[in-house]
Amino acid sequence: MVQDFATLKKIYNVFDPFRPLPAGDPVYVDCQEVRGDGDILVEVGREILYSDRKTCQLYAGHRGAGKSTELLRLQKYLNEEGCFVVYFAADEQDIEPEDAQYTDILLACTRRLLEALKDKGDSKPLMSWLKSRWDDLKDLLPDVSLEGLEVEKEISLFAKITAKLRTEPSLRHKIRERLNPHTQTLILALNQFIEDAKKRLPSEYSQLVVIADNLDRIVPIPQEDGRSNHEHIFLDRSEQLKALNCHLIYTVPISLVFSNRATDLRDIYGSDAQVLPMIMVRTPKNKSYQRGINKVQELLQKRVSQIDPNLSISDMFEQPEALQQLCLMSGGHVRNLLLLMKEAIKYTNNLPITTRALQRSISETRITYRNTVYADEWQALAKVYHSKRIVNDEQHRNLLFNRCILEYRHRDKEEQIQCWYDIHPLIKGIKEFQDAFDNLNLSETQLDETGTD
């Protein structure tokens, strides 16, 4: 077994949970058969390729489930099918997920399109828009001048605006306040730029696609009218989100998809939001699902093989059942799986990984989940674990957003897609949950004994 520090360090870093896999990465594992047979290339990609009109699609899933990896696969597929794709992770340089509004997203799209198509489109409409708004902005951007504004400086200016929106809370409200009344004119200017750029795309490209990733990380914030900022962005401002003259894909919070506005989303965007569920490692009957567990083990093995092709993931654990436990405790959530693996390696001086190290990793992560749950949410979690269903209310949407409740999908014997929910497996080991579940069972037993409906 591995003893040296350098190799352990390589193994530790190969389980980086925050790096999306680029398209074609050798460690990628196709998990669609244990995720309800969903395929982003078909469900999202063909919608673009088959449509005679521009499309706007929503893509959802739990944070850390692997959406970015799937979107990068989609980008490559669409490129090969004649689409010029502008992909960007919105939270890296453009928006602050803790406080984001529609205007931030529009400015991010503007900046990224201008950057990607600077050699292809005429930016004069955008330059004119900036000049017309300059009196509103110049005191907020004192280090910027419009003198001799060329396309590179124009890109830089939009980048500075989005950077201030992302990093300077004191200016965020002021910038929005001054630009919100002028978003329609910005859309008009941006569309002029897009139309000109599309005419000058290389001959192998016939369509333009924008993929705005990581918008699902926008934190839900109740608004004064009692609704959430998610509704304000993706429903109230949907016409503006759809207004760009190209194909659009936005990631959205999974909690928005499971809401009383789900049918509105379908009506507004023309199709259901596509959801990337968890890898199914347990059945709705709480039985281990070996096909899903095997996929999770393959995911780990492919990463280990990058360091040492002769190293087996099963041999990396002191006890054979420890690997099985790791897969089950992850809930089929890819980022959690990689985090648990990294933590176990961190507590290991040499391989194999001891049971003690794995339990330490599990316990530390479980504490994080315990701290996430409010006192009045334990009973709701107990009911979800018992029924495998969720109630359509704010409490359950928050638990979905925080990944305390996970979504799964599978095909039944009639080839119908079945969607069901479960709590994160780590929560089952928390005393507050166990007490709530015991109380739930006690109440149901008493109900049965009295014969009350």
pLDDT digits (tens, 9 = 90+) for 353-396: 999 999 999 999 999 999 999 999 999 999 999 999 999 888 99
| Confidence at residue 386, expressed as pLDDT on a 0 to 100 scale | 95
- Taking the domain 37-276, which CATH number applies? 3.40.50
Distance (Å, whole) CA 436 – CA 412: 31
- Amino acid type, 347: Y
In this prediction, residue 255 carries a pLDDT of 87
* pLDDT score recorded for residue 260: 74
- Cα 72 from Cα 20, distance rounded (Å): 8
SS3 assignment for the chain: CCCCHHHHHHHHHHCCCCCCCCCCCCCCCCCHHHCCCCCHHHHHHHHHHHCCCCCEEEEEECCCCCHHHHHHHHHHHHHHCCEEEEEEEHHHHCCCCCCCCHHHHHHHHHHHHHHHCCCCCCCHHHHHHHHHHHHHHCCCCCCCCCCCCCHHHHHHHHHHHHHHHHHCHHHHHHHHHHHHHHHHHHHHHHHHHHHHHHHCCCCCCCEEEEEEECHHHCCCCECCCCCEHHHHHHHHCHHHHHCCCCEEEEEECHHHHCCCCHHHHHHHHCCCCEEECCCCCECCCCCECHHHHHHHHHHHHHHHHHHCCCCCCHHHECCHHHHHHHHHHHCCCHHHHHHHHHHHHHCCCCCCECHHHHHHHHHHHHHHHHHHCCHHHHHHHHHHHHHCCCCCCHHHHHHHHCCCEEEEEEECCCCCEEEEEEECHHHHHCHHHHHHHHHHHHHHHHHHHHCCC
Query: Cα(74)–Cα(248) distance, rounded to whole angstroms?
Result: 13
The full set of domain ranges for the chain reads: 1-36+278-453, 37-276
Residue 295 CA to residue 31 CA, distance in Å, equals: 7
* Amino acid 304: pLDDT: 97
Give the pLDDT confidence score for residue 148 in this predicted structure: 59
Q: Which pLDDT does position 195 carry in this prediction?
A: 97
Dump pLDDT digits (tens) for 108-157: 999 999 999 999 988 899 989 988 988 888 888 777 666 655 667 777 87
What's the confidence (pLDDT) of residue 452?
Answer: 39
**Tokens at 329, concatenated:** 């405790």
The ranges of the chain with pLDDT < 50 are: 446-453
Which amino acid, one-letter code, is at 84?
Answer: F
